[in-house]
Amino acid sequence: MSKKKRIVIALGGNALGNTLPEQMKAVKITAKAIVDLIEEGCEVVVAHGNGPQVGMVNNAMIALTHEDAQQPNTPLSVCVAMSQAYIGYDLQNALREEMLNRGIENIPVATMITQVRVDPEDPAFASPSKPIGKFVSESQAKIMEEKFNYIMKEDSGRGYRRVVASPKPVEIIEIGTIRTMVESGDLVIACGGGGIPVIRQGNHLKGASAVIDKDFASCLLAKELDADFLIILTAVEQVALNFGKPEETWLSDVSVKEAKEYIKEGHFAPGSMLPKVQAAVDFAASKPGRTALITLLEKSRDAIQGKTGTMFHL
């Protein structure tokens, strides 16, 4: 019997919805696409973003401090942990249900609350730029700066938002447990929202006020699990050069060398397609035989078969 292809699939926000009701609907569609890959004979590990969800949790925790003066502010790292758990809850139930609907009864599904270590010297901490939470007025922003020590920045005339650092992931703390679960045949959901950002202080792991990019965390997870494929899901079927311009060109097969040139030429938007392409290149370059794909959720099965998507390889 041939060895199953091991895939780490990185779900974007569009795969999860923006509210609880939206999420419950979205995960059912997402589960179908993931179970399609399992039916193709693949071994799947799921990572996901948490952009809307962690903002919602953070806003709820801030509202709680307004209702109860004795209630301390909730650290962002705890909000990430909360978002991991409730997204994982919906995802694992949807995946389990979809597999049972197809007669797959021997694959347990579990969510691993995952801590990811970051470097306190990462330059991202010196220039926080990742917006989180809702827009507020200038006066509200000043109160939040004074009360919670937040860094607040004006955003394109729409109001002020909290900004935090987005450091690179260095180590997945629970990787040993994740690896054991995957090797035993479990369908594991891990590194939700890029992981809970922590800084090592001796034997203590201290939560950091940061958000780790889920694509970079997924890349590290895929490398640590010796995956064959990293599939990064986004809102387009393929990556494009000159996106949205008359000379727009869609890419189907890209070498690491070519992709690095395209990055240098500035073809990919920072905060949008750029981190996805960077993560894809990182994974594809890490070992011969490793392939990264960027495509739509519903096209993931076709992408694995080489029918669509943008494929990155050495």
Starting at the edge strand found earlier in the chain, the sheet holding 196-201 runs 169-172, 115-118, 196-201, 204-207
- For the question of residue 287 being annotated catalytic, the response is no
Measure the N-to-C terminal CA separation of the chain; round to a whole number of Å: 27
Per annotation, catalytic residue among 17, 49, 88, 276: 276
Distances (CA, A) of 203 to 27, 198, 200, 238: 37, 12, 7, 44
d(CA 220, CA 283): 8
Per annotation, catalytic residue among 17, 49, 50, 130: 130
Tokens of 197: 């950002």
Per annotation, catalytic residue among 13, 49, 88, 193: 13
- Angle of helix 51-67 relative to helix 76-101, nearest 10 degrees, comes to 130
- For the question of residue 28 being annotated catalytic, the response is no
- For the question of residue 130 being annotated catalytic, the response is yes
In the DSSP assignment, the letter for residue 188 is E
d(CA 14, CA 226): 27
d(CA 305, CA 285): 21
Per annotation, catalytic residue among 5, 14, 32, 207: 14
d(CA 183, CA 82): 27
- Angle of helix 273-285 relative to helix 256-264, nearest 10 degrees, comes to 150
- For the question of residue 106 being annotated catalytic, the response is no
d(CA 314, CA 256): 5
Phi first, then psi, for residue 262 (nearest 5°) are -65, -40
Annotate 259-291 with DSSP letters as a single string.
HHHHHHTT-S-TTTHHHHHHHHHHHHHSSTT-E
Per annotation, catalytic residue among 12, 17, 214, 309: 214
- For the question of residue 13 being annotated catalytic, the response is yes
Question: Which sequence positions are flagged as catalytic?
Answer: 13-14, 130, 214, 276
